[in-house]
C-alpha cells in the first residue's frame, strides 16, 4: 500500500468489540513504532458502549486501565481521492497492564481458541466469508435478484469496491447483486481463521468507505425490513492438520465427512443453543433466523441445504478424475454482521473443539423442511428449534457451563450484560423501528 501521507497524519488503532463496532484512538504516523510496543490506553467500560448510545451497566465503572496494541500486519492504508476513500487503521489486541490478553478482547479470544485447537488436536481452521449487505445508492427494484439490470443500476460501486479490496490485499472471489432490492454480496477467498476475521472487518469498513465516496451507505444489519430478506454472514470452513494436509474428507464415510470433521460439526450443533447469541447477537437477528428465509432455524446438519445451520457445500470439479478432498468443506449459516467476526469464529472453534474433546459422532444430515417434523422426530435426532429471540438466546448463554469454561466468566457476563441493555433499548419499539435502528448501527 503506497500513500503520500505526512508523518502527522493519523492512523486509528481499533478493537472490534462486543457491540460489533470498531473503536479506538488515533495516533500520528510518526509515533507508530513506539505505539506498536506500548499501545494506546484503553478503558474496560468501553466494551459496554452499545451501538445505540447508552453505556450498559459496567462492573468496572470508571475504574481500570488497559493497553490497545496495533497488529501492524492488519494495517489498511488507502488514499484514493478519485473514490473519496481515505482509510488508515490497524486492528489491535487489548492487554492488561501486566501484558496478559484481556478476557474481553475478542481478537485475543479467537487467538486463544486457535491455539487450543492446534495444541489439543493438531488442527487448524481455514475460513472464507460470504458477506451480504444493502447498498443505498441504487434504484431498488423487486424481481431483479441476480439480474444484470440490477448490476447496471449499481453503477461504479462494484468495480470500485473490488479495486479497493484488491489494494487492501484481499483475495477477490465474487460480487453478486443479491436477491433483495439493493442487496449485494461479496465473497473473499479462504484464509487462516484469524486473517479471515481481520479481512471480514476490513471488507465491511472498506465497503462503507466506498459507498460513502458515492454519497451512499452500505448496511450489513441482519435484516432491514421484518418482511424482507436478511443479510447473512455465511462462514465456510474446513480443518487441516498443522502441515496443511486436509482432514475434512473421508470417502469411506457417510457424506464423505471425516471422523474429526464430524466431531467438530457435532460440537457446533450441540452447543448452538448457547452459542447462537454469539453469532446472531442482535434483537433483529432473530427476525432473520426464521424458517423459509434461507438462513437457519434449527441446529441441523444438511447436505447442500441452504436452511441448515451447518451444510456440506458442493464441490466443483475441474475434471472427472480430480481429487476434490481439498475442496470439501462446510458452511455455518446462522451468523450475521452484528457480532464481531472474532467472537463468531471463536464461538465456532470453541464449540468444535468441545465436539473433538468429547469425541462426538458425526451428525446425520437432514433432508427437507424441518418445520414439518414433529417434536418427537426432532428430539430423536437431537435437533431443536434455535432460540427465537435474543433474551432467550442470552438465557441459554448465561446458563451454559460450556461457554463459561470456553470463554471465561468475565466475557460471558460482560456479553450478557451488554446485550440485555440492548434488549431494553429496543423494548416497546415495533419490528420496523428495530430494523431501522440496526440499519443505522451496522
Ligand atoms: N440472505 C440469506 C441469509 O439471510 C442467504 C441467501 C443465500 O443463500 O445466499 O442468510
Ligand atoms: Mg447470499
Give distance in angstroms: CA of 435 to centre of ligand 2. 19
Atom number, ligand 1, closest to the C-alpha of residue 183: 1
Give distance in angstroms: CA of 317 to centre of ligand 1. 24
The 3-state DSSP class for residue 246 equals strand
Global confidence as pTM: 0.97
Q: Is 302 in the pocket of ligand 1 (CB under 6 A)?
A: no
C-alpha cell at 296: 437457519
Q: Is 307 in the pocket of ligand 1 (CB under 6 A)?
A: no
| Residue 8 CB burial class (10 angstroms; 0-12, 13-18, ≥19) | exposed
Q: 196 in the Ramachandran plot: left (φ > 0), alpha (ψ -120 to 50) or beta? A: alpha
The 3-state DSSP class for residue 439 equals helix
Q: Is 288 in the pocket of ligand 1 (CB under 6 A)?
A: yes
Buried b (16+ CB within 10 A) or exposed e, 250-284: beeeeebbbebbbbbbbbbbbbbbbbbbbbbbbbb
Q: Which of the ligands is closest to the CA of residue 230?
A: 1
Give distance in angstroms: CA of 178 to centre of ligand 1. 9
Give distance in angstroms: CA of 224 to centre of ligand 1. 13
Cβ partners under 8 Å of residue 212, min gap 6: 84
Residue 139: the pLDDT is 85
Query: Do you know the residue count of the chain?
Result: 442
Q: Is 306 in the pocket of ligand 1 (CB under 6 A)?
A: yes
Give distance in angstroms: CA of 178 to centre of ligand 2. 6
Atom number, ligand 1, closest to the C-alpha of residue 130: 9
Give distance in angstroms: CA of 132 to centre of ligand 2. 6
The 3-state DSSP class for residue 127 equals strand
Pick from 297, 142, 280, 139: nearest CA to 221? 280
Per-residue pLDDT of the chain (442 residues; tens, 9 = 90+): 456 899 999 999 999 999 999 999 999 999 999 999 999 999 999 999 999 999 999 999 999 999 999 999 999 999 999 999 999 999 999 999 999 999 999 999 999 999 999 999 999 999 999 999 999 999 888 889 999 999 999 999 999 999 999 999 999 999 999 999 899 999 999 999 999 999 999 999 999 999 999 999 999 999 999 999 999 999 999 999 999 999 999 999 999 999 999 999 999 999 999 999 999 999 999 999 999 999 999 999 999 889 999 999 998 888 888 888 999 999 999 999 999 999 999 999 999 999 999 999 999 999 989 999 999 999 999 999 999 999 999 999 999 999 999 999 999 999 999 999 999 999 999 999 999 999 999 9
Residue 289: the pLDDT is 96
Cβ < 5 A residues, ion ligand 2:
185
| Residue 379 CB burial class (10 angstroms; 0-12, 13-18, ≥19) | exposed
Q: Is 222 in the pocket of ligand 1 (CB under 6 A)?
A: no
Residue 39: the pLDDT is 96
The DSSP output letter for 159 is H
Q: Name the residue with the closest Cα to ligand 1, atom 3.
A: 232
Amino acid at each position: 500500500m503506497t500513500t503520500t501521507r505526512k508523518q502527522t497524519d493519523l492512523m486509528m488503532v481499533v478493537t472490534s468489540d462486543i457491540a460489533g463496532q470498531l473503536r479506538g484512538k488515533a495516533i500520528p504516523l510518526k509515533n507508530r513504532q513506539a505505539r506498536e510496543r506500548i499501545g494506546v490506553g484503553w478503558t474496560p467500560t468501553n466494551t459496554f458502549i452499545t451501538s445505540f448510545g447508552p453505556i450498559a451497566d459496567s462492573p468496572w465503572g470508571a475504574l481500570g486501565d488497559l493497553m490497545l496494541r496495533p497488529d501492524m500486519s492488519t494495517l489498511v492504508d488507502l488514499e484514493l481521492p478519485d473514490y473519496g476513500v481515505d482509510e488508515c487503521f490497524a486492528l489491535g489486541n487489548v492487554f492488561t497492564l501486566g501484558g496478559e490478553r484481556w478476557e474481553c478482547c475478542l481478537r485475543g479470544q479467537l487467538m486463544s481458541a486457535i491455539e487450543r485447537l492446534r495444541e489439543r488436536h493438531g488442527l487448524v481452521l481455514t475460513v472464507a466469508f460470504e458477506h451480504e449487505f444493502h447498498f443505498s445508492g441504487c434504484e431498488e427494484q423487486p424481481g431483479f435478484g441476480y439480474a444484470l439490470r440490477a448490476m447496471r443500476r449499481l453503477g461504479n460501486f462494484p468495480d470500485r469496491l473490488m479495486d479497493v479490496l484488491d489494494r487492501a490485499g484481499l483475495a477477490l472471489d465474487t460480487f453478486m447483486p443479491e436477491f433483495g432490492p439493493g442487496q449485494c454480496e461479496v465473497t473473499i477467498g479462504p484464509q487462516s481463521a484469524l486473517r479471515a476475521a481481520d479481512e471480514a472487518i476490513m471488507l465491511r469498513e472498506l465497503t462503507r468507505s466506498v459507498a460513502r465516496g458515492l454519497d451512499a451507505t452500505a448496511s450489513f444489519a441482519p435484516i432491514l425490513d421484518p418482511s424482507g430478506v436478511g443479510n447473512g454472514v455465511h462462514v465456510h470452513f474446513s480443518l487441516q492438520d498443522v502441515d496443511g494436509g486436509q482432514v475434512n474428507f473421508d470417502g469411506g464415510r457417510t457424506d464423505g465427512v471425516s471422523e474429526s470433521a464430524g466431531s467438530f460439526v457435532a460440537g457446533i450443533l450441540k452447543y448452538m443453543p448457547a452459542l447462537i447469541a454469539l453469532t446472531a447477537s442482535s434483537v433483529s437477528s432473530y427476525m432473520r433466523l426464521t424458517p423459509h428465509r434461507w438462513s437457519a432455524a434449527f441446529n441441523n446438519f444438511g447436505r447442500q441445504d441452504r436452511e441448515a445451520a451447518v451444510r456440506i457445500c458442493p464441490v466443483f470439479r475441474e475434471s472427472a478424475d480430480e481429487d476434490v478432498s481439498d475442496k470439501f468443506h462446510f458452511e455455518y449459516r446462522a451468523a450475521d454482521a452484528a457480532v464481531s467476526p472474532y467472537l463468531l469464529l471463536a464461538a465456532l472453534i470453541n464449540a468444535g473443539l468441545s465436539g473433538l474433546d468429547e469425541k462426538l459422532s458425526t451428525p446425520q444430515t437432514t433432508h427437507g423442511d424441518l418445520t414439518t417434523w414433529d417434536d418427537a422426530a426432532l428430539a430423536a435426532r437431537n435437533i431443536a428449534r434455535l432460540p427465537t429471540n435474543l433474551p432467550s438466546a442470552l438465557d441459554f448463554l448465561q446458563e451454559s457451563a460450556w461457554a463459561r469454561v470456553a470463554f471465561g466468566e468475565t466475557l460471558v457476563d460482560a456479553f450478557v450484560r451488554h446485550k440485555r441493555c440492548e434488549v431494553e433499548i429496543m423494548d416497546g419499539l415495533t419490528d420496523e423501528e428495530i430494523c431501522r435502528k440496526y440499519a443505522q448501527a451496522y
